[in-house]
Amino acid sequence: MRTTVLDVATGNRPAVHDLTAECATFVSGAGSGLLNVFVPHATAGLGIVETGAGSDRDLLRALDDLLPRDDRWQHRHGSPGHGRDHLLPAIVAPSVCVPVLDGELALGTWQSICLVDTNIDNPRRQVRLSFLADAS
Amino acid sequence: MRTTVLDVATGNRPAVHDLTAECATFVSGAGSGLLNVFVPHATAGLGIVETGAGSDRDLLRALDDLLPRDDRWQHRHGSPGHGRDHLLPAIVAPSVCVPVLDGELALGTWQSICLVDTNIDNPRRQVRLSFLADAS
Amino acid sequence: MRTTVLDVATGNRPAVHDLTAECATFVSGAGSGLLNVFVPHATAGLGIVETGAGSDRDLLRALDDLLPRDDRWQHRHGSPGHGRDHLLPAIVAPSVCVPVLDGELALGTWQSICLVDTNIDNPRRQVRLSFLADAS
């Protein structure tokens, strides 16, 4: 299986980081099948959303409302409220598949594949891209 | 890869639209592998839920509570509060895989594959179905 | 396609049940491809989270806040508030894919594949594991 690991700098602030260009490059020339994007971390997820029009910041705000960064969580280490980052991947899953047609991502016009990383204690992240070719 | 695009009329009200029959027809006779259902839109997602017993309406209500349709969002265009529709796919992902066994969806008795579309400004939607055959 | 169904005892309390060992055993020796984990139930989901440090309990608490177990839901049967369990799979999807490299799950150090089951009326659950081999 063709697979690679991206090294992504997300910094020390919550981030919605667009991976679409890297994904498109990875599947270029790959034929047809499924791209799986997978984040091997317990405090990050993947969202397919529109970027550049405010929704990236809106998403971080919504996640702050849904999973408050306060002292209610039993899982405590790192920055105050970090326990909520450990719940993120249950809501924003760390794995997503995108159809690939003749080496091109079958994304809609406004869709971007984004790493969603609210963890401010971990400025670098890995993301695994894997291409599964169809057997038929 | 065998793939097709459905054209779905979701109307101008929030909708949970059952796609199970179309998915079953698509994989009929296809052997074993994975069905990927993918929505190429930035304001819709896919949920595998029970329909017809109230949960479709309950889901729309829950999403109204989790992602309020008000003026808090930076992404503003279309109907008031539409910015929340752009957050939906981060929570209800626009891609899901279902195992297929000898041309049949391996769904549970009460599961339906549903397009979740809270966007009232876009009455028609596309959904891509792709079947990935196992190579072993 | 290589596929099997696990029978999981989740008991009559909300549970985050770690399936990682069973998944690892299933793909052992399987080559490279994608593991699909699928729950054929309408009131359970799958989360890839850290276990054993409090996040399992935190997740159940967060879900109680996000999807309250009260009488607001139209879908009513079983225990009071059970309608919220029917919304769980829209938020915590019942299907997830994990890359497999030479028979090993490509999980991160702190990631576990977990059945998330808030339904207290159904003490036994099935989980389907399927391995899709790459064709290239």
Domains, in order of start, for chain A: 2-133 (2.60.120.460)
B90 close to C (CB below 8 A): no
- Report the pLDDT value the prediction gives residue A77, as an integer from 0 to 100: 84
Average pLDDT over residues A23-52: 97
Residue whose C-alpha is closest to residue A44's, from A135, A136, A128: A128
Reading phi first (left if > 0) and then psi (alpha if -120 to 50, else beta), residue C52 is in: left
Which chain A residue has the Cα nearest residue B77? A53
Average pLDDT over residues C6-18: 95
- Across the interface, do A111 and B38 touch by the CB < 8 Å criterion? no
What's the pLDDT tens digit per position in B81-131? 999 999 999 999 999 999 999 999 999 999 999 999 998 888 999 999 999
End-to-end CA distance of chain B, in Å? 16
Average pLDDT over residues C103-109: 98
> Which chains, if any, share at least 3 CB pairs under 8 A with chain A?
B, C
C58 close to A (CB below 8 A): yes
- Report the pLDDT value the prediction gives residue B77, as an integer from 0 to 100: 84
Report whether pLDDT(C135) > 90.
Answer: no
Structure tokens at B126: 């596309």
Mutation choice for C interface testing from B37, B48, B100, B113 by most C CBs within 10 A: B48
Regarding pTM above 0.80, the answer is: yes
B–C interface: beta-carbon pairs under 8 A: 114
Structure tokens at B32: 């074993």
Min CA distance, B110 vs chain A (Å)?
A: 22
For strand A124-133 and strand B33-38, is the pairing parallel, antiparallel, or unpaired? Answer: unpaired
* Other CB atoms within 10 Å distance of the CB of residue C57: 14
Average pLDDT over residues A123-132: 97
- Report the pLDDT value the prediction gives residue C78, as an integer from 0 to 100: 84
- Across the interface, do B33 and A135 touch by the CB < 8 Å criterion? yes
- Indicate the residue of B77, B89, B130 with minimum beta-carbon distance to A49: B89
Structure tokens at A88: 């993120």
- Across the interface, do A93 and C34 touch by the CB < 8 Å criterion? no
Residue whose C-alpha is closest to residue A109's, from A60, A61, A53: A53
ipTM: 0.96
For strand B2-9 and strand B124-133, is the pairing parallel, antiparallel, or unpaired? Answer: antiparallel
Average pLDDT over all residues of chain A? 95
Beta strands in chain C, from DSSP E residues, in sequence order: 2-9, 15-18, 33-38, 45-49, 95-101, 104-105, 112-117, 124-133
